[in-house]
Amino acid sequence: MTDKKDFVDIRHAQKSYGNLEVLKDISLTVERGQIVAIIGPSGSGKSTLLRAINDLDPLTKGEIWLDGVQVNKKLPHRQYEKHINEMRQQIGMVFQHFNLFPHMTARDNVSMAPKMLKGLSKEAADKLAEEQLDKVGMLERIDYYPSQLSGGQKQRVAIARALAMHPKLMLFDEATSALDPELVDEVNQVMKKLAEEDMTMIIVTHEMDFAASVCDRVLFMDQGVVVEEGPPEVLFKNPSKARTREFLGKHLGATK
């Protein structure tokens, strides 16, 4: 356990693909219970940074810490696998394309990992699935397969699946970008509810309105660096960097 200031602590994160440097020495801390939005043009490295936090895209250099434990610890392969699997149980992730398991019902999508990894009995896992699906308003569809659900419903099930492991941190990778406009709100509502419950969240998003209304801090990334960060009311209204202004000008203009 560390003090709450550096609950999530990213130290000198750097990542390259060959000669292409996609993350250039990024350092960043997130407090427990804080909600941070990362915005920026495509190719800015925001998704890569998010995916580095649970080591889906391993960093070339730098360290990721969560609650006093280094996520990307240097360990021999086998020990590292065990370590990272344990760390990932504490880090929920929601993807742009949901990535629900199509051969499982909503119930099984949610209860499979707790059953396998935490040794829950079938009854306990069922109860957990019901609770989590109720939380995202999907209890009525508990025995539906993903192919029978709308995009918004799929994403809510995916959030329930992540929450079922009782994560300390939730990562959202453009969770609403693949949704039809009229389905965005139901997912945003669920994320708002999580925010009210003091879940620590890092959200990569294109939705400036949502970022402004929910997040404590907004980071603007471009070309692998954090150009500017601050509370949403400051960053959106009075950005200090020209690049931020340019991006926001285009983006806010486009969505309005």
Partner 1 sequence: MGLDFSIIPKHLDIILLGCAWTIGITVVAAIISFFGGIVFAVIALYAPWIIRQPFRLVAWVFMGTPLLLQLFLIYFGLVQIGIDLPAFVAGVIGLGLHFAVYNSELIQTAILSVDKGQMEAARTVGLSRGQALRKVVIPQAVRAVIPPIGNNMIALLKDSALVSVIGVSELTLSAQRVIGKTYRPFEFYILAAAFYYVINLCMEWVQRKIERRISHSR
Size of the site for partner 1 (CB under 8 A): 29
49 near partner 1, rule: CB under 8 A: no
C-beta of 216: minimal distance to partner 1 in Å?
24
Binding test (CB under 8 A) with partner 1, winner from 85, 213, 238, 240: 85
Identity of the residue, 77 or 256, whose beta carbon is nearer to partner 1 in the bound complex: 77
Only one of the segments 91-99, 125-133, 175-183, 240-248 lies at the binding site for partner 1 (rule: CB under 8 A); that segment is 91-99
113 near partner 1, rule: CB under 8 A: yes
Only one of the segments 9-17, 65-73, 88-96, 224-232 lies at the binding site for partner 1 (rule: CB under 8 A); that segment is 88-96
Counting Cα atoms < 13 Å in the Cβ hemisphere of 111 gives: 20
Q: Give the CA diameter of the chain.
A: 56
101 near partner 1, rule: CB under 8 A: yes
Q: Environment class of residue 128 by beta-carbon count within 10 Å: exposed (0-12), middle (13-18) or buried (19+)?
A: buried
Of residues 152 through 191, those in contact with partner 1 by CB under 8 A are: 158, 161-162, 165
User: CA 161 to CA 180: how far, in whole Å?
Assistant: 22
CB neighbours of residue 45 within 10 Å: 24
Q: b vs e for 75-96, b when ≥16 Cβ sit within 10 Å of the residue's Cβ? A: eeeeeeeebbeebbbbbbbbbb
CB neighbours of residue 185 within 10 Å: 14
102 near partner 1, rule: CB under 8 A: yes
Only one of the segments 28-36, 61-69, 81-89, 208-216 lies at the binding site for partner 1 (rule: CB under 8 A); that segment is 81-89
> Cβ(63)–Cβ(14) under 8 Å?
no
Binding test (CB under 8 A) with partner 1, winner from 86, 140, 197, 233: 86
Question: How is residue 204 written in tokens?
Answer: 């990569």
User: What track of x and - describes contact with partner 1 for positions 131 through 150 (by CB under 8 A)?
Assistant: --------------x-xx--
Q: Which parts of the chain are beta strand (E)?
A: 8-17, 20-30, 35-39, 61-66, 69-70, 91-94, 169-173, 200-204, 217-222, 225-230
Binding site for partner 1 (CB under 8 A): 54, 56, 81, 85-86, 88-89, 91-93, 95, 97, 99-104, 112-113, 116-117, 145, 147-148, 158, 161-162, 165
